Structure 1
């Protein structure tokens, strides 16, 4: 019994809360007004990671895999007769990273495990709504 408790305690101490609870990817809903606009999503390097027509759900990576490497995206909406619109999607540390490591993961979770894993981030907004203005 002591061995089982020690194994569980060791696993908790050698892991980060956000890594245990969170995923490396997140579904972001891409909408536009009017619906049916073309969109493309570029990451911070300018690489197109997704494209399609609204409305559509897109699964995006939350981290680039580097130390504290949160991803950032730009969603560009285009539709004939409307001005192009661009919205940012940013990664921010989530509550499991901040509060969970305070209670359970400790410094190893804060500084070693979670910074390499996308689970510590949340992409915002979770629903991107591109409001497009008609062109004269």
Structure 2
């Protein structure tokens, strides 16, 4: 009985190569929204290579790793005629699933599979919501606070989900 249990445990450990690879994979979908909608987005990786060009709202699958034990990072540029351009960074950070290798993946998962595939990382933020400032407003002093009022139906659903009603 002990031999069967030990054999099963070894087979399970060798069979599950990388916990994060199995659970989360080597790429992640990230949603990009903007106010106003239909802004052009351009995504470049850490090497400056253009990965994606499109319009908001958009959902894009991005690689989480840039090499062995190296997280990927992206520069996302939002632009629209009549509005000031804005750049947001999406970066890879260590995923909690990587530590599942201690129990299931063993050294193969810790040192080889998850680091090579990039599955040991997660991209943050997973939803990028940005508000582009009108060029008319950008000419005002940066020290002067501004308030932008919008209709609820013009707001993306991701932003409205976090909205708080003021009474």
Both proteins in one fold, TM over 0.5: yes
User: Do the aligned partners of 1:86 and 1:130 also contact (CA within 8 Å) in 2?
Assistant: no
Structure with greater proportional strand content: 1
In 2: Cα distance, 1:26 partner to 1:10 partner: 26
> How many residues are treated as equivalent by the alignment?
132
Match of 1:59 in 2: 61
Inter-CA distance 4–108: structure 2 relative to 1 (3 Å threshold): closer
CA distance in 2 between counterparts of 1:28 and 1:20 reads 19
Asked whether the equivalents of residues 42 and 75 of structure 1 are also in contact (C-alpha less than 8 Å), the reply is yes
After TM superposition, give the deviation of residue 25 of structure 1 in Å. 1.1
Residue 11 of structure 1 and its aligned partner are, at CA, apart by 2.0
Q: Which runs of 4+ in 1 moved over 3 A?
A: 1-4
Q: Flag structure 2 segments of 5+ consecutive residues without an equivalent.
A: 137-167
**Structure 1 unaligned regions, length at least 5:** none
User: Which segment is superposed worse, 110-119 or 53-62?
Assistant: 110-119
Q: Which residue of 1 aligns with 2:145?
A: none
Quote the offset at 1:4 in angstroms: 6.7
- Spell out the pairing of 1:16-35 with structure 2 (5 A cutoff): 16-35=18-37
Tell me the SS of whatever aligns to 1:104. Answer: coil
* Alpha-carbon RMSD: 1.9
Q: Secondary structure of 1:10's match?
A: helix
Distance 1:27 1:40 in 2: 16
Query: For residues 119 and 68 of structure 2, what CA distance do their matches in structure 1 show?
Result: 13
Aligned to 1:120: 120
1:110 Cα deviation (Å)? 2.0
Structure with greater contact order relative to length (CA < 8 Å, sep ≥ 6):
1
Name the larger-Rg structure: 2
Alpha-carbon deviation of 1:107?
3.6
- Determine the C-alpha separation between the residues in 2 that align with 1:63 and 1:131: 28
Normalised to the residue count of structure 2, the TM-score between the two structures is: 0.72
